Amino acid sequence: MTDQKDLTKTSIDISEETDIHWSQDISYGGYLKLGKLLECQEPLSDEHDEMLFIVIHQSAELWMKCCIHELMAAMECVKKNTLGPAFKMLSRIARIQAQLEQSWDVLSTLTPADYAKFRDQLGQSSGFQSYQYRTIEFALGNKNAAMINAHKDNPKRYDALSATLHAPSFYDLVIALLAKRGFPISKTQLQRDFSQPYVADESVENAWLQIYRNPEKEWELYELAEKLVDLEHQFHSWRFSHMKTVERIIGYKQGTGGTGGVSYLVKALDIRFFPELWTARTKI
């Protein structure tokens, strides 16, 4: 049992700890570059709520940077046919997506009247123009060459997005892995133009059906399939929350970047990254 004297001593110890002068080469703020990071929030108006709007979108970009880091590493694992580490990376991406979805709940505290006070200050800026979001979509398989035009004024980003557009997506790599593992995948899927949107294929669906019907024999691929489903499920939930938050704040006004706003986001809900993993469920 801790007596009052012990509690007092503990309090004194904590107080003494806070008086330490940190002289190390790396401190908390230095390691995280907080000086630079916390100077990046520069509202264009005097409106109180603009700070929330900026922080939500900046933090989303940081989380997307982490998603890209994990996704590219997971793609390398699939190329090397070493799936173990990729499972952890895919799980992490799905949890980051859940975090991103939660951010829309915070943004929904912004009322239409609040947003209207500073919306005109945004000009033509829009999440539609997010370079990192487009990188994630291309890497997951939602290929659309027209989407890179927003980045023509930045040659470095434009070239990087173009490379991602023409490279195999994560799912293309997974399909190639299925072929390596002995599943009869159509050659048209293995040798296609990777800059074009993926079209569902019967041979790929049949491969997933075999895997789901024999999980003990194909446990590693079975687990990979479920990680992909989890990833897409979280992404779809994020998109839906985004759409409902925009609807709540601006209704059906046109988006600041010239898109249809809510109508554009609704169409995005129909996009599937891994279509055969969903259609196969009906046949299992």
User: Using CA atoms, how far apart are residues 203 and 201, in angstroms rounded to an integer?
Assistant: 6
Per residue in 186-222, pLDDT tens?
999 999 999 999 999 999 999 999 999 999 999 999 9
Residue-wise pLDDT for 215-269, tens only, equals 999 999 999 999 999 999 999 998 888 889 889 998 878 766 666 678 878 887 7
Q: 242 among the known binding-site residues?
A: yes
252 is in an annotated binding site: no
- The pair of structure tokens assigned to 179 is 């072929």
Token pair 């940077």 is at which residue? 65
pLDDT averaged over every residue in the chain: 89
Annotated binding-site residue? 109: no
Let me know how many helices (H) and strands (E) the chain has, helices first. Answer: 14, 0
What is the CATH T-level fold of the domain 47-283, as seen in this structure?
Answer: Methane Monooxygenase Hydroxylase; Chain G, domain 1 (1.20.58)
Spatial separation of the C-alpha atoms in residues 254 and 64, rounded to whole Å: 25
- Angle (CA) 17 21 23, round 5°: 130
- Whether the model pTM is above 0.75: yes
| pLDDT recorded at residue 26 | 75
53 is in an annotated binding site: yes
Q: pLDDT tens digits, residue range 149-167?
A: 989 999 999 999 999 999 9
Is 68 annotated to bind a ligand? Reply is no
